[in-house]
Amino acid sequence: MSTSASPSAASAPASETSLRIAVAGAGAVGCTLAAALAHAGQPVSLLARGASLEAVRRNGLRLRRAHHTLHVRLPASDDAAELGVHDVVLVCTKAQDLPGIVPALAPLIGPDTCIVPMVNGVPWWYFQRLPGRLAGRPVRAVDPDGALLRALPSEQVLGAVQFLAAERLEPGVASSSNPMRIVLGELDHSESPRTARLAETFNAAGIESRVSSRIRDSLWTKIIANLISNPLSVITGATLDTLYRNPRLQPIVRKIMNECLALAAAYGARLDFDPASFAEQATRLGAIRTSMLQDSLAGHPLELAAIGDAVLELAELQNVPMPVTRDILALTHFRNDARHAANLSRG
């Protein structure tokens, strides 16, 4: 039975040792994290705009879970200067929106602020703070001119890999019925008090969180999951359960998976990854539409650069062939370009 907590009853009082957290972006992930954290008593501010900002100011923020609904009220603005400097900034925008939003984040970020990007795909920071022949290199597909590297100091960036099956139902309202999980880690694979403290904060809010000393291992798991499901879902219109159990799609899924695993190995990733178990877990999530399929159906830009093109860029750097993945991405780009052209002709 679904229950709805009132805004006053939903939030526990913040303590003096609570982290001041700003959530930038009011999409599915941003709304989910902001609602869960605020409901647990963390002081949370939301940087939003347009209809989302109006809805949150008017009605508060709602997160629908399996058996209940969280309803919270929190400070929200489209001007980061009104919100001020925070201890943590969770950047919850689409990867392609990062260059546009990063300049607006500056008033939220002080010298000790921890910046946590909750983005899909290969992040701009992938080659930062690690030794090797590719050290310090930008990922051109997502940061072509290095603007993100210059704007967001890598020593303040904390790696994060989120496993959230969330959907934005309407402005200010999100749904996430499955368990929420986040892996955190320093870019240089060191241990730090800030990582442990943020993981503790997430766990207290019902968001299962752990600290990894090899954050890129978890990142590769998410990269593989995204690349297997997102582009193919746009081409086929299939939900997660169909992608992994349909006999016509299963062979394509397996080929993409094998190509991705070979690339992850080339980058030294240590993955606890069993393809059969992974497919079974994805199928159990049910008729979930991938984030990219949701965007495609809504006519929004797709995260193809971060989820697909950046992976091919990394493959070229290691001379790892990915023919099936490349073809699926080409088809997805074609479909997206055709949709965009049709919209322009109608406009």
| Strand (E) or helix (H) holding 30 | helix 28-39
Q: Which of 213, 241, 268 is the last residue of a domain?
A: 213
Phi and psi, residue 339, nearest 5° = -65, -45
Looking at the structure, tell me whether residues 44 and 172 fall in a common domain. yes
- The one catalytic residue among 159, 222, 233, 310: 222
Q: Which of 184, 213, 242 is the last residue of a domain?
A: 213
Predicted pLDDT of residue 178: 78
Looking at the structure, tell me whether residues 55 and 200 fall in a common domain. yes
Residue with tokens 């949150």, as numbered in its chain: 56
Looking at the structure, tell me whether residues 151 and 195 fall in a common domain. yes
Instruction: Return all residues near 249 (Cβ < 8 A) that are at least 6 apart.
Output: 232, 236, 238, 242, 243
How is 282-312 classified by DSSP, letter by letter?
A: HHHT-SPPPHHHHHHHHTPPP-HIIIIIHHH
Looking at the structure, tell me whether residues 186 and 298 fall in a common domain. no
Looking at the structure, tell me whether residues 7 and 138 fall in a common domain. yes
Looking at the structure, tell me whether residues 161 and 305 fall in a common domain. no
Predicted pLDDT of residue 347: 63
Give the domain CATH number at 298. 1.10.1040.10
Phi and psi, residue 24, nearest 5° = -100, 110
Looking at the structure, tell me whether residues 232 and 166 fall in a common domain. no
Looking at the structure, tell me whether residues 196 and 247 fall in a common domain. no
Predicted pLDDT of residue 211: 97
Looking at the structure, tell me whether residues 285 and 316 fall in a common domain. yes
Q: Which of the 8 DSSP states describes residue 2?
A: -
Predicted pLDDT of residue 6: 42
Predicted pLDDT of residue 106: 96
Catalytic residue status for 255: no
The helix/strand/coil state of 242 is helix
If one counts the domains in the chain, the total is 2
Give the domain CATH number at 91. 3.40.50.720
pLDDT in tens, the chain (347 residues): 334 444 433 444 455 578 999 999 999 999 999 999 999 999 999 999 999 999 999 999 999 988 889 999 999 999 999 999 999 999 999 888 999 999 999 999 999 999 999 999 999 999 999 999 999 999 999 999 999 999 999 999 999 999 887 888 899 999 988 789 999 999 999 999 999 999 999 999 999 999 999 999 999 999 999 999 999 999 999 999 999 999 999 999 999 999 999 999 999 999 887 778 878 888 877 788 888 998 899 888 899 999 999 999 999 999 999 999 999 999 999 999 988 887 777 76
Looking at the structure, tell me whether residues 150 and 299 fall in a common domain. no
Predicted pLDDT of residue 16: 53
Predicted pLDDT of residue 12: 47
Domain of 204, in residue numbers: 3-213
Distance CA 64, CA 18 (A): 25
Distance CA 219, CA 161 (A): 6
Looking at the structure, tell me whether residues 153 and 19 fall in a common domain. yes
Q: Which of 193, 213, 233 is the last residue of a domain?
A: 213
Looking at the structure, tell me whether residues 159 and 293 fall in a common domain. no
